[in-house]
């Protein structure tokens, strides 16, 4: 905590770095004009935004569910307290998560499935931007499939609150399928030059109930017939009185945020951004259903409290450097995650703890060159990791060191990049943009105690020069928009890629491999929008991505052996490896029909196909979902909003599952994950000027289903009711 306090103190003192003169005229909030992307007429990249109004209407339990129900991307879940977005067939550390433009990806972001997106409460969001396709040029490593920018609410000055000094919101919600009880509150204090926003939320999620009606495309699957109960240090297999209740899937979460803005004058602004999120233990539901003979393999498998702390300071000034608008960002992040597991009737509980610190600085500048926009800048990131583990014996109380998930010595990465983009109008209807990025990354990881691993090396060191580029053109006519892009992207190996040792389930052990190179990609896409902004709007995007030096988890030899004993069981050895080339191609479509002014029909459709050239030839690439989308009818006026919609997904045949294990075939029916569809209704009523009532019913038919690669069934029929009080 001392590091955090020191860093915040440093940020506050930075407020003095500016001109002293203050405008006496009405102060206008300075926008972050150097944002690295926009949705202007010059933009060629496909970007979808989810507004605060949409987030409030849809009223989902967490940010992962909100993204999954957008109809524009897929989300995988291993447990209720999770959600791993998939963009264009890429997931986890092949897409980039940002909060307020700050990278969340760090040196232990894994290739499998993540839950970090839920650490940002959906009620704290002002907007979510989803960038589709290669985004390494504006954002660097990992943004191969795209990026998701979670933009939280800002502190508002008097000029933005209709001269209201005090304003705020209180939001509550109850859901039936998991007996969710949530409350959120924020309060904004507005002054002429100073403003403060404070927000807090609490979520209590019970065990999730799955649907009771058989999916028409499959038999019943994923029911919970029994679970483990421990009494007096003895584990018992207990029959579940209601096999639709996914026992031990509930958890709690707390979130807090503090924003402060100081508008020094009409050209200078300071912003302080503090965020905190933590959870209770989050049961890893899929592992709790792993079988061993006639029983269950684990008596306990939890993610310990997942903590995220962000402290950021931003200094913005117009015409500060070479006639350029300037944004300087100083950010610190602290992430703690842990894994706690104990096998059935085994006295030893293993606890693996990871503590990550991320320090970053960015300098972004934007200016005009003639009529063109020119954005340029630099950024530096330093990540460090401490990985520890203990084994505690419940019978004797003895605690001893044990094998860690990552190397148990020094772990750090240092990255420095420079970038530039140029955006201009070639003629009245045609815009052109081009950009480039170059950087250098170093990584060091050491094994202080090799007795647990017995690895053939005791350190991992890498240095990589990175680069990417992008070029795009867009043409607009009165009825049509055509955009074409070609972009490269890259992902530098991190400590998770190079040094991880863990059992992934299904008899597979992942071991370290330090001989991995960065993976790279080239993506070309074309978007055609017919009747843009008209009564009917129809958009289709076609994309093709070629990956090089693709990182794939595959069979491997560990000290010359293909099978080793781990935790007393034989395990097949796998490791991350560069497997040559792969390709992903697909299409995404969006249709909007404004039937009348308040009534709109809409629909989305997404299809992705991916293959990797492995040792045996052409094989399925992991993380490729079946086709999916959303179709609905929406009514909206000043008093009433209603949305009736269907979510759907096609079948994923078992023959199309990757052999890497990342698609989790052990948590799917024998012939693959069946297709499904759900019908849903949501509404909100502005009962009074300061009160809004939310209500809805999800999965109306109470269908029993599971999304691709997930290890937990989706919610059954869910009735929710909530309210918002605005003052």
What is the pLDDT, as a whole number, of residue 615?
67
Distance between CA atoms of 610 and 625, rounded to whole angstroms? 10
């289903």: which residue's tokens?
Answer: 705
> Quick one: pLDDT at residue 532?
86
Question: What was the pLDDT predicted at 564?
Answer: 83
**3-state secondary structure (DSSP) of residue 136:** helix
Say if residues 722 and 59 touch (Cβ distance below 8 Å): yes
Burial of 33 (0-12, 13-18, 19+ CB in 10 A): middle
- Map residue 272 onto helix, strand or coil: strand
Taking the CA atoms of 42, 39, 48 and 640 in sequence, report the sign of the dihedral they define: negative
Q: In the predicted model, is pLDDT for residue 25 greater than 50?
A: no
Distance CA 458, CA 375 (A): 43
In the prediction, which pLDDT does 14 show? 37
In the Cβ-directed half-sphere of 361, how many Cα atoms lie within 13 Å? 5
Are the C-beta atoms of residues 124 and 100 closer than 8 Å to each other?
A: no
Residue 24 is given by DSSP the state: -
CATH 2.40.170.20 at 2-726, yes or no: yes
Q: What is the dihedral of CA 95, 101, 107, 108, to 10 degrees?
A: -60
Does the structure show a pLDDT above 80 at 506? no
Residue at token pair 């250098």: 440
Distance CA(241)–CA(225), nearest Å, equals 8
Contact 588, 544 (CB under 8 A): no
What average pLDDT is seen over the chain? Answer: 93
Q: How far apart are CA 375 and CA 726, in angstroms?
A: 38
* Structure tokens that stand for 246 in this block: 């996914």
Which run of H or E residues covers position 537?
strand 536-548
Q: What is the pLDDT of residue 456?
A: 83
Q: Let me know if 638 is exposed, middle or buried by CB neighbors in 10 A (0-12, 13-18, 19+).
A: exposed
Choose among 252, 223, 285: nearest CA to 61.
252
When pLDDT is cut at 50, 70 and 90, the band that residue 97 belongs to is: very high
Higher pLDDT, 573 or 167: 167
Position 508 confidence tier, pLDDT thresholds 50, 70, 90: confident
pLDDT of the residue at 569:
78
Tell me the pLDDT band of 617, cut-offs 50, 70 and 90. Answer: confident
**Where is average pLDDT lowest: 34-43, 59-68, 140-149?**
34-43
Nearest CA-CA partner of 639 in 684, 597, 681 = 684
- Rounded CA-CA distance 115/335 in Å is 13
Q: What is the mean pLDDT of residues 121-125?
A: 98
Average pLDDT over residues 110-119: 95
What's the pTM? 0.94
Give the pair of three-digit tokens for residue 507: 């008899």
Region 589-607: what's the mean pLDDT? 98
pLDDT of residue 496 exceeding 60:
yes
pLDDT of residue 15 exceeding 60, the answer is no
Torsion angle defined by CA atoms of residues 154, 160, 166 and 169, in that order, rounded to the nearest 10 degrees = -50
- Averaged pLDDT, 549-577: 85
Q: Regarding predicted confidence, which is higher, 592 or 293?
A: 592
C-alpha–C-alpha distance, residues 368 and 319, integer Å = 11
Query: Is 390:401 a contact under the CB 8 Å cutoff?
Result: yes
> How far, in Å, CA of 505 to CA of 661, rounded?
9
Per-residue pLDDT, averaged over 690-718, amounts to 98
* Of 361, 473, 373, residue with least CA distance to 417: 361
Please compute the mean of the pLDDT values over residues 109-133 and round it to a whole number: 96
Tokens of 123: 């009620």
Q: Is the pLDDT of residue 687 over 90?
A: no
Rounded CA gap, 403 and 571, in Å? 16
Task: Tell me which DSSP letter residue 245 carries.
Answer: E
Question: Mean pLDDT, to the nearest integer, of 338-354?
Answer: 98
Q: How confident is the model over 643-664, as pLDDT tens digits?
A: 999 999 999 999 999 988 899 9
What is the sign, positive or negative, of the torsion defined by CA atoms of 310, 106, 340, 704?
Answer: positive
Answer with the residue of higher pLDDT: 29 or 418: 418
The CA-based angle 567-573-575, given to 5 degrees, is 120
Closest by CA to 500, choosing from 604, 421, 406, is 406
**pLDDT score, position 216:** 78
Structure tokens at 502: 């863990």
Contact 420, 376 (CB under 8 A): yes
Give the pLDDT mean for 623-650: 97
Q: Is 200 helix (H, G, I), strand (E, B) or coil?
A: strand
Q: How far is CA 578 from CA 152, 613, 614, in A?
A: 37, 11, 10
**pLDDT bucket at 552, cuts 50 / 70 / 90:** confident
Give phi and psi for 54, each to the nearest 5: -65, -40
The whole-number average pLDDT for the span 92-113 is 96
Q: Which two tokens stand for residue 472?
A: 């795009």
| pLDDT average, residue stretch 264-271 | 97
Once rounded to an integer, what is the mean pLDDT over residues 678-693? 95
Which token pair is 668? 């799917």
Average pLDDT for 459-473: 97
Q: How confident is the model at residue 557 (pLDDT cuts 50, 70, 90)?
A: confident
Report whether 275 contacts 256 (CB < 8 A).
yes
Lowest-confidence region among 8-17, 230-239, 617-626:
8-17
pLDDT score, position 505 = 66
CA separation for the pair 89, 625 (Å, rounded): 7
pLDDT of 9: 43
More confident residue, 1 or 81: 81
pLDDT at residue number 17: 33
As a whole number of angstroms, the distance between CA 622 and CA 89 comes to: 8
Q: How far apart are CA 243 and CA 230, in angstroms?
A: 19
Token pair, residue 231, equals 């009494």
Residue 627 has φ and ψ, to the nearest 5°, of -60, 150
pLDDT at 493: 97
Separation between Cα atoms, residue 494 and residue 408, nearest integer Å: 15
Task: Specify the DSSP element, H or E, that contains 497.
Answer: helix 495-499
Tokens 């969710």, residue located: 180
User: Residue 498 in 3-state DSSP?
Assistant: helix
First to last CA, the chain: 35
**Mean pLDDT along residues 157-173:** 95
CA dist 309 to 12, 101, 256, 353, Å? 17, 15, 10, 16
Nearest to 511, CA basis, from 530, 498, 525, 494: 498
CB-based contact 588:608 (threshold 8 Å): no
Average pLDDT over residues 352-357: 98
């Amino acid at each position: 905590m001392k590091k955090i306090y020191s860093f915040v103190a440093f940020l506050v003192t930075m407020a003095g770095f500016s001109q002293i003169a203050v405008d006496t005229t009405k102060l206008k909030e300075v926008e972050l004009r150097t944002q690295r992307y926009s949705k202007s007429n010059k933009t060629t990249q496909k970007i979808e935004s989810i507004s605060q109004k949409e987030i409030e209407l849809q009223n989902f339990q967490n940010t992962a569910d909100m993204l999954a129900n957008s109809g524009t991307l897929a989300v995988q879940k291993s447990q209720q307290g999770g959600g791993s977005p998939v963009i264009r067939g890429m997931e986890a550390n092949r897409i980039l998560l940002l909060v307020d433009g700050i990278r969340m990806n760090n040196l232990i972001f894994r290739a499998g499935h993540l839950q970090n997106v839920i650490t940002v409460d959906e009620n704290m969001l002002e907007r979510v931007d989803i960038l589709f396709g290669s985004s390494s040029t504006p954002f660097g490593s990992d943004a191969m499939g795209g990026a998701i920018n979670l933009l939280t609410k800002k502190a508002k000055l008097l000029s933005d609150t209709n001269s209201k000094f005090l304003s705020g919101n209180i939001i509550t919600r109850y859901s039936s399928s998991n007996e969710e009880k949530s409350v959120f509150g924020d309060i904004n204090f507005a002054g002429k030059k100073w403003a403060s926003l404070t927000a807090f939320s609490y979520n209590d999620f019970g065990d999730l109930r799955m649907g009771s009606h058989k999916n028409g495309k499959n038999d019943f699957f994923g029911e919970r017939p029994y679970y483990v109960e421990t009494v007096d240090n003895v584990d018992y297999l207990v029959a579940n009185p209601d096999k639709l209740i996914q026992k031990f899937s509930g958890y709690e979460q707390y979130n807090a945020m503090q924003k402060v803005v100081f508008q020094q004058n009409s050209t200078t602004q300071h912003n302080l951004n503090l965020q905190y999120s933590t959870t209770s233990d989050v049961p890893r539901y899929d592992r709790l259903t792993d079988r061993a003979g006639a029983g269950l393999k684990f008596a306990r498998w939890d993610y310990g409290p997942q903590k995220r702390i962000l402290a950021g300071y931003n200094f913005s000034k117009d015409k500060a450097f070479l006639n350029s608008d300037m944004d300087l960002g100083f950010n610190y992040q602290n992430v703690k995650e842990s894994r706690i597991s104990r096998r059935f009737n085994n006295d030893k509980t293993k606890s693996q703890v990871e503590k990550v610190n991320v320090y970053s600085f960015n300098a972004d500048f934007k200016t005009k060159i003639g009529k063109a926009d020119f954005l340029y800048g630099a950024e530096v990131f330093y990540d460090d990791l401490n990985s520890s583990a203990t084994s505690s014996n419940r019978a004797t109380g003895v605690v001893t060191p044990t094998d860690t998930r990552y190397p148990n010595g020094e772990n750090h990465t240092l990255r420095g990049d420079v970038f530039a983009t140029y955006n201009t109008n070639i003629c009245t209807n045609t815009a052109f943009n081009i950009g480039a990025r170059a950087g250098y990354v170093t990584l060091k990881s050491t094994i202080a105690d090799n007795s647990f691993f017995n690895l053939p090396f005791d350190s991992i060191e890498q240095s990589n020069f990175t680069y990417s580029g992008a070029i795009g053109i867009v043409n607009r006519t009165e009825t049509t928009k055509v955009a074409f892009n070609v972009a490269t992207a890259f992902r530098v190996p991190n400590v998770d890629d190079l040094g991880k040792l863990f059992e992934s389930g299904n008899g597979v052990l992942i071991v370290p491999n330090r001989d991995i190179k960065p993976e790279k990609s080239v993506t070309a896409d074309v978007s055609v929008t017919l009747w843009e902004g008209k009564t009917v709007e129809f958009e289709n995007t076609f994309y093709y991505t070629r990956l090089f030096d693709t990182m794939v988890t595959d069979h491997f030899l560990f000290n010359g052996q293909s099978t080793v004993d781990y935790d007393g069981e034989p395990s097949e050895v796998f490791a991350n490896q560069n497997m040559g080339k792969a390709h992903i191609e697909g299409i995404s479509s969006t249709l909007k029909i404004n039937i009348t002014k308040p009534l709109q029909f809409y629909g989305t459709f997404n299809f992705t196909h991916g293959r990797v050239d492995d040792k045996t030839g052409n094989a399925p690439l992991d993380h490729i979902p079946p086709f999916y989308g959303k179709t609905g009818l929406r009514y909206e006026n000043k008093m009433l909003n209603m949305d009736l919609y269907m979510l759907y997904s096609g079948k994923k045949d078992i023959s199309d599952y990757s052999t890497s294990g990342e698609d989790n075939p052990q948590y799917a029916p024998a012939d693959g994950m069946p297709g499904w569809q759900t019908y849903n209704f949501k509404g909100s009523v502005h009962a009074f000027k300061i009160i809004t009532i939310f209500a809805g019913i999800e999965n109306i038919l109470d269908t029993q289903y599971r999304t691709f690669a997930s290890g937990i069934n989706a919610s059954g029929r869910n009735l929710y009711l909530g309210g918002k009080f605005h003052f």
